[in-house]
Amino acid sequence: MPDALPTIDVVAAIVERDGTFLACRRARGKAAAGKWEFPGGKVEASESPADALVREIREELGVPISVTGELVTVEPSGGGGIRLICLHASLDGPEPVESTDHDELRWVARAELAALDWAEPDVPAVRLLADGASG
């Protein structure tokens, strides 16, 4: 029997501002290019998910955040892949205007979230938010 794929913990920031949510489109040349996602990245071995998210958002978007809670953890199907830990976060300063991994940042109204072409791991969180889960 082949070895199971490893599970990789990835964190994503659910940042809400005035009833809209921060969505980022993957840039050309990146995995899942053209797909929308919540910003974040991989959890390093020595980090908690919250610490990883603070670091990733600082590296990727250049802004400080505070983690305020958890929305959902999406387990990979089929025994390996990305475990996406979606955490609520608030900006601790200016709004991000650019990203190292994305070619567009957009504030999206709850009712319009489902209209974007989301990366597969983000879809369960998008559904929860579109259905009215607190942001």
User: Mean pLDDT over residues 79-100, rounded?
Assistant: 93
Domain range annotation of the chain:
7-130
The C-alpha atoms of residue 73 and residue 68 are separated, in whole angstroms, by 15
Please tell me the pTM assigned to this model.
0.91
The C-alpha atoms of residue 90 and residue 96 are separated, in whole angstroms, by 12
For residue 4, is pLDDT > 90? no
- CATH code: domain 7-130 is 3.90.79.10
pLDDT of residue 134: 63
- Non-local (6+) Cβ contacts of 17 within 8 A are 91, 95, 107
pLDDT of residue 135: 52
pLDDT of residue 1: 47
For residue 8, is pLDDT > 90? yes
pLDDT band at 3 (very low <50, low <70, confident <90, very high): low
Q: What are the pLDDT digits (tens) for 32-83?
A: 899 999 999 999 999 999 999 999 999 999 999 999 999 999 998 777 788 9
- Non-local (6+) Cβ contacts of 18 within 8 A are 107
pLDDT of residue 76: 86
The C-alpha atoms of residue 125 and residue 81 are separated, in whole angstroms, by 17
